[in-house]
Each structure stands twice: as structure tokens, then as C-alpha cells.
Amino acid sequence: MNAGETTADALYSQAVSGAFRMDTSVARKCAATFLRFADALDPQLDHSRRIHALTGFGTFDSSHQLQHGFESKAAELTETLTTLRDSALHLAAAHLLAAGLIQTSDDTHARALLATAAGL
């Protein structure tokens, strides 16, 4: 499943190179939208992590297989939601960078920079 990471990476690279530029106010609005989306995914991520280990399926072999299948789906869901959230943050950074609102930085400080630059 493509959760936007390729598009986010390409847009960010274009912003770094100067090929993608935006008006400051428009970039802030776009970044704010991506940040709201990322924030909305956080509760979903918490929930998906809680269902990685399930109980109550019984002791039959088929029950264990069913339980394992659901747990695997939960892990896949967590991975997809994490990628979506990271892509949204990367897209927000690309828009802010395209408007000259932030400089490239490591991912550890990206969220704080994005929130500050977006005026949230």
C-alpha cells in the first residue's frame, strides 16, 4: 500500500531544491491541514497498538490461527497509520519549506518546528 511516502519525499526534495515554492499564507494553511490530519491519526495509532495482543479466542488450533490473523492485521494497520502520519508531517514540512518558513532539519525537531511555523 502506498501511504503517500513517495509523494511526500518527492515534494520535500522539490522544496529543498527550490523547484517547489509557495506563498507564505497558503503554505501555512496547507501545513496546518496536514498537521491536523497527523494529529487525528494519533488516537487511531494508540488504539491499533492496543490490539496487537488479543485474548479470548479459545484453545483450539483454529482459534489460535484466527487470533494470530487478527493480531497481524492490527500490526499492519499500525504500520500503515504510522506511515500516513509521517507522510502528512513530511508534506507539512515541504509546504513550509517551499514558503521559506523553515530550513531543512532532522526529524526529531520537525514536529515542533512545524507547529511553530504554522502558528498552531
Give the per-residue pLDDT at 108.
44
pLDDT of residue 113: 60
Total domains present in the chain: 1
Residue that is written with C-alpha cell 497558503 in the block: 26
Instruction: Please state, for a pLDDT cut of 90, what percent of the chain lies above it.
Output: 40
Instruction: State how far the Cα of 108 lies from the Cα of 83, in Å rounded to an integer.
Output: 16
Note the pLDDT of residue 15.
Answer: 92
Parts of the chain with a pLDDT under 50:
108, 120
Q: Which domain holds residue 55?
A: 5-117
Q: What is the pLDDT of residue 57?
A: 86
Count of Cβ atoms closer than 10 Å to residue 45 Cβ: 15
Count Cα atoms within 13 angstroms, Cβ side, for 60: 4
Cell digits for 58? 479459545
